[in-house]
Amino acid sequence: MLDLNNKSVLITGGTGSFGKMFTRLILKNHPNVKKLVILSRDEQKHFQMAQEFNESKFPQIRYFIGDVRDKTRLIRAFEGIDVVIHAAAMKHVHLAEYNPMECVKTNINGAENVIDAALECGVKDVVALSTDKAAAPINLYGATKLASDKLFIAANNIKGNRNIKFSVVRYGNVMGSNGSVMPFFLNKRKEGANFLPITDDRMTRFNISLEDGCEMVFYAIEKAWGGEVFVPKIPSYKIPDVAKAIAPELEHRVVGIRPGEKLHEEMITSSDSYNTVDLGKYYAILPQKSPYSQYSKEEYKKAFGGVDVPDGFSYDSGNNTEWETVESLRDLVRKHVDSNFEV
């Protein structure tokens, strides 16, 4: 059973949607956490988050302004930290396409800085957040996150005698997160729009709640051996079904796929299948066997009761076996996005 009491935890990008939910769950389930450091470059988001998680009420919280591009600042922030959750990233696909090097500096160089600072400061566990767009990427955001994933996986090869593990958590669209489709459609409806823009009526996406995303990270902190990419078994939805769930009275107007978008998102490619283990609730993509391997696939399966996935197995939002319906999507909007939502 994971116990973060008397541990020091740091979240990069900690003022975002994930960071706020993760903070809420840590304070609820691990109230005696020694220190919880929220690292972000956005002072306004620090100020806003402190209205809910005030230092006078939660004296273990520290609001640390810093950028993952600045390794010196990270080293200062990581001193005395046991667990690092790396959530900071440049995430908007179209903005990354227009500003490619800014995405590279944050998502790739920033990842390497997190690794170097963690190794230098004696951190014990590092869990990096990935994205479904990192599997067979066709956009720059996905490509930078794939590079980031590879950096964190390979970091286990250079830890030497340090007691540290690096792992990755990869999941799909988060309900209600900034820039996601549900709040976007809700806002269009509230603004009195005449139609909802649909990029393509065949488009599908994976769906996960913030709470479930956080639970995956807790799982990785507790269970990771180092080098895994953990993938959840979650339902998919069709974008037109989200539009029907939120605003059935509005026209759905197809506006075309934006630069860098896919029709269906992948989380495990067929090429990954040979290194993938089914753990029941999650899949784990294990590091490819090499002279530097820390453990074998057979050892891992035995330890966790895992089984091989079929050769050539792939996991994408279009070939999924579990789907949200219009009604289930309405329930999810009420539960996770807008409690006052009514059709």
Strand partners, 65: 40
Distance of alpha carbon 71 from alpha carbon 117, whole angstroms: 7
Catalytic residue among 133, 165, 238, 262: 133
Distance of alpha carbon 100 from alpha carbon 113, whole angstroms: 19
Distance of alpha carbon 92 from alpha carbon 67, whole angstroms: 18
For residue 301, give the amino acid letter. K
Burial 208-227 (b: 16+ CB within 10 A, else e): bbbbebbbbbbbbbebbbbb
Question: Residue 173: which residues within 8 A CB-CB, separation 6 or more?
Answer: 132, 180, 181, 205, 206, 207, 208, 265
192: left (phi over 0), alpha (psi -120 to 50) or beta: left
Residue 134 is classified by DSSP as G
Closest CA to 328 of 264, 244, 252: 244
The CA-based dihedral angle spanning residues 47, 53, 58, 59, taken in that order and rounded to the nearest 10 degrees: -10
Does 133 qualify as catalytic in the annotation? yes
Are 32 and 8 in contact, with CB atoms under 8 Å apart? Answer: no
CA max distance for the chain: 62
Closest CA to 257 of 93, 104, 134: 93
Q: How far is CA 163 from CA 123, 158, 262, in A?
A: 8, 12, 39
Taking residue 328's Cβ as centre, other Cβ atoms within 10 Å add up to 15
Q: Which helix (H) or strand (E) segment is 75 a member of?
A: helix 71-78
Positions marked active-site: 133
